[in-house]
Amino acid sequence: MRVYNFSAGPAVLPEEVLKEAADEMLDYNGTGMSVMEMSHRSKAYDDIIKTAEKDIRDLMNIPDNYKVLFLQGGASQQFAAVPMNLMKNKKAAYIITGQWAKKAYQEAQIYGEAVAVASSADKTFSYIPDCSDLDIPEDADYVYICENNTIYGTKFPALPNTKGKTLVADVSSCFLSEPVDVTKYGVIYGGVQKNVGPAGVVIAIIREDLITDDVLPGTPTMLKWKTQADNDSLYNTPPCYGIYICGKVFKWIKKMGGLEAMKAHNEKKAKILYDFLDQSKLFKGTVRPEDRSLMNVPFVTGNEELDAKFVKEAKAAGLENLKGHRTVGGMRASIYNAMPIEGVEKLVEFMKKFEEENG
Ligand SMILES: *Cc1c(COP(=O)(O)O)cnc(C)c1O
């Protein structure tokens, strides 16, 4: 029996996609082999990766002057690749809205001067700082954000004013959750294991003029975006199976009506949970309302023992992985694209019952 899986990542995938993959496990499309077993240079695989690229381009309306790269190494690998590829002046501005942004900022310090131009650390990253008029260095190569903060449950309500600098965004936990205007960014990248597919694949959408040979000395061949772009993400063996599943998820999103429909679906789910939290006497959301994420919803009872009891009893009721991140405690419900509305309804029903019994 499948459970309602509220994991922050790796996370729930559409059941339809999993079933299709299961059907094709032994014989993909008449090839007599699994996608896991075929050459990444074969015709069958070429179709898979090309179709995946085409579908994500359609979904996100990605302009022709942006490359789509399928990479390995997790989102964390890009914490280094970003400065290696972009730090011409060896300076960049970072907005620190949580642990992932902080890690990227710390990594960038290895390669140049990373300047923290804003932070919400003063209130445990429970809000997004005002980014309308930041003190961005004249010679900064880029401005970096983590757009949706998986651990703390915040999302930028508006993109920062970068004062003309290139915007780089880690969108791991909000990838394909709603429409985006790609032209506002220089680089959009994310690990796919939150909202798009299996761990091990990173998708990077990069404006072409930012893909050059002019990278920091010592940049490994594999981390130079140009290497990957020149070879259509097939410089070496890519994470073939993971990309294949991502491709299926793109098709699923298209079938569901695209990113506008995803946004409506996600807003509906998030509203059910936030509305409950806002009137509950026991549970409390931890994020400033205007900065709330549609994807990750942290909440607490204010009593650690009660939190632990909740997580345990929820699990017994088929609602899994509701424990908050180890650095913040409490609970967190991740309600990505593939979480059905019934999952959120069941969760709220369970919270009501728990409140009656323990309030
Ligand atoms: C999970 C996550 C990461 C780390 O991803 P890895 O693929 O494990 O490196 C980075 N950024 C954000 C926003 C995340 O949610």
Over residues 275-311, the pLDDT tens digits come to 999 999 999 999 999 999 999 999 999 999 999 999 9
- Tell me which amino acid residue 210 is: L
pLDDT tens digits, 44-63: 999 999 999 999 999 999 99
Gap from CA of 270 to ligand 1 centroid (Å): 21
What percent of the chain has pLDDT above 90?
A: 98
Q: Ligand 1 pocket: which of 72, 76, 176 to mutate (most atoms <8 Å of CB)?
A: 76
Confidence of residue 327 (pLDDT cuts 50, 70, 90): confident
| Cα 184 versus chain centre, distance | 18
At residue 1, the pLDDT reads: 85
Cβ burial of 155 (10 Å; 0-12, 13-18, 19+) is buried
Gap from CA of 11 to ligand 1 centroid (Å): 12
Q: From atom 12 of ligand 1, which residue's Cα is the shortest distance away? A: 172
At residue 326, the pLDDT reads: 82
**pTM greater than 0.95:** yes
Question: What mean pLDDT is reported for the chain?
Answer: 97
Cβ burial of 334 (10 Å; 0-12, 13-18, 19+) is buried
CB of 194 sitting under 6 A from ligand 1: yes
CB of 293 sitting under 6 A from ligand 1: no
Gap from CA of 338 to ligand 1 centroid (Å): 18
Q: Ligand 1 pocket: which of 71, 106, 172, 296 to mutate (most atoms <8 Å of CB)?
A: 172
At residue 303, the pLDDT reads: 95
Gap from CA of 337 to ligand 1 centroid (Å): 17
Among all residues, which ones are annotated catalytic? 100, 170, 194
- Whether the CB-CB separation of 174 and 203 falls below 8 Å is answered with no
The lowest-confidence range among 129-138, 230-239, 251-260, 322-331 is 322-331
**Residue 359 pLDDT more than 90?**
no
Task: Give the list of residues 6+ apart from residue 353 with CB closer than 8 angstroms, or none.
Answer: none
Q: How far apart are CA 237 and CA 205, in angstroms?
A: 19
